[in-house]
Structures are given as structure tokens and as C-alpha cells.
Amino acid sequence: MDMGAMLAGKKVLITGASSGLGENFARLAARCKAKVVVGARRTDRLEKLATELKALGAPEVQVLALDVASEQSIQDAFAAIDDTGQPLDVVVNNAGVSNDGLALDLPIKDFDQLMNINVRGVWLVAVEAAKRWKNAGRGGSVINIASIQGERVMKGITPYSMSKAAVVHMTKSLALEWARYGIRVNAIEPGYIGTEMTDDMWTTDYGKELIKRIPMRRLGKPEELNGLFLLFATEAGSWMTGACVPVDGGHLCSSL
């Protein structure tokens, strides 16, 4: 079964596509010859990425200015997609942020910003997509990017862990509600992945100690999420919904 070929021609929206995992998923979709819609706040980076995606094989690339903390921005983005006359097949809720700090020291504005992006934004994007699929009488796939922090916790990132736990339960509950419409909702739970957002941490003594706790004794690579992504995005996973699957080098089997 060639899951990459099964993604060809499908239209895929990826939020937070200007860096990290979002860029990786966009490149994967392009190599599979999917029609790619990339959304993020940093549109200058998206425009550069779009050129690369076309060279990789994407038959169409649409760039959207998208801030998932803004309901209006999400509605505008979906309106722009609607204007193309080509419905989405897959929505990837990848946009997310983190902040560090003990609960007693964390400003409430930082807590609110994180929740607006990591929870409310995921909800709004998923609901906008599902409304269109239901009204059109067609199914679709939502892939939420959660985290192993949605299953376990560690000191100093409580709001982040809370937000990812919310995404895990949101995934399961929406899967239950929308299964009757042929809409599948699943989540990838990455462990520690080397990305632009976290690269600096892994060179510190603290970061090196964290890596030692991973049973495989190394960081993951963004492309090591690709197999699960394709399973969720294509008919290869047609009977999977409400699944939240860790890809973490065995970390959840050990101590965080």
C-alpha cells in the first residue's frame, strides 16, 4: 500500500506552516503531489516555502495569512479556500506555542495567549472545516498535533501540558460527534523533536539530560512523524478516528 500515492490530488491545509513540523508536513504533502494550503502569521516565510513546494511536486499551493488566535482570521482563511471552489480533504492543526515558567510566576496574559492558540485555535479550525464537510455531505480528516505532554506532565510548562491534554480530549470527543458524517479526527503526540523552536534547548545541560531519559537516547526528527501523518490523512487509516498516538522514541514508557 503506497500511502503517499493515496494523498495525491487531495487538498491539505496545514496551520503553523512557516517552520518546524508544519514545514515538514507541507513538504511531505507536496512530494505526495497533494494540493497544499499553508497558513501562518509569517507570510514572507510561507511565500518562500510555496516556491519550494511547487518544485517538490505540489500541483497547487495556496498561501494564507492565518492567525489561529483570531476567529476573524480563521474565517477569512476559510473564505479564501472556499473561493477556489476546491474543498479541503485534510486539515492539520499544527499551529502552537509554548512558554516556560512556574505557575506562581507566569503572567496571565501569557497563559491566555497560549490557550487561545493551542486550544481555542485548534477548536475553531476543526469546526470550520467540519461545518463545510457536513454541509457538503462529504467526509474529511482532521489531524491535530498534540504532544506526549498531553498524557504526562513536567514542571515549568503547566499551561502547555494543559493545552495538549485539552487537544487530546478534544480529538476524542469530536471524533465521537463527527464519525456519523464520515469526518475522522485523530492526533499525533510527538515526543521531543529537534525543530527550530527548541533547537537551542538541546545544547544546554538541561536539554542533554532530557535526551538521556528517552529510551532511544536521541531526539526525534520531524520526518519520523510522516508515516503516522499519512495513515491519518489517507484511506489507509479509514477506520481510525479518535486515535491519539505517541511518536516519542518510547518516552511515555519511561520517565519524562
Q: Which three cell numbers stand for residue 95?
A: 499551529
Q: What is the rounded end-to-end Cα distance, in angstroms, of the chain?
A: 35
pLDDT digits (tens, 9 = 90+) for 198-212: 777 888 988 898 899
pLDDT for residue 203: 86
pLDDT band (50, 70, 90) for residue 194? confident
DSSP state of 21: H
| Assigned CATH topology for domain 3-247 | Rossmann fold (3.40.50)
Of 36, 161, 155, 48, the C-alpha closest to 104 is: 155
pLDDT value at 93 more than 70: yes
Do the bridges between strand 35-40 and strand 11-15 make them parallel or antiparallel, or are there none, so unpaired? Answer: parallel
Q: What percent of the chain has pLDDT over 70?
A: 99
| Contact between 164 and 218 (Cβ < 8 Å) | no
pLDDT value at 29 more than 90: yes
pLDDT value at 256 more than 60: no
pLDDT digits (tens, 9 = 90+) for 105-143: 999 999 999 999 999 999 999 999 999 999 999 999 999
DSSP symbols for 170-211: HHHHHHHHHGGGTEEEEEEEE-SB--TTTGGGGGSHHHHHHH
pLDDT digits (tens, 9 = 90+) for 146-184: 999 999 998 899 999 999 999 999 999 999 999 999 999
Q: What percent of the chain has pLDDT over 90?
A: 88
pLDDT for residue 199: 73
pLDDT band (50, 70, 90) for residue 227? very high
Domain ranges of the chain: 3-247
pTM of the model: 0.96
Asked about 160 being catalytic, the answer comes back as: yes
Do the bridges between strand 61-65 and strand 140-145 make them parallel or antiparallel, or are there none, so unpaired? Answer: unpaired
pLDDT for residue 195: 82
DSSP state of 220: B
pLDDT for residue 196: 74
What number is the average pLDDT over the span 90-115? 96
Average per-residue pLDDT for the chain: 95
Catalytic residue among 160, 181, 192, 206: 160
pLDDT band (50, 70, 90) for residue 255? low
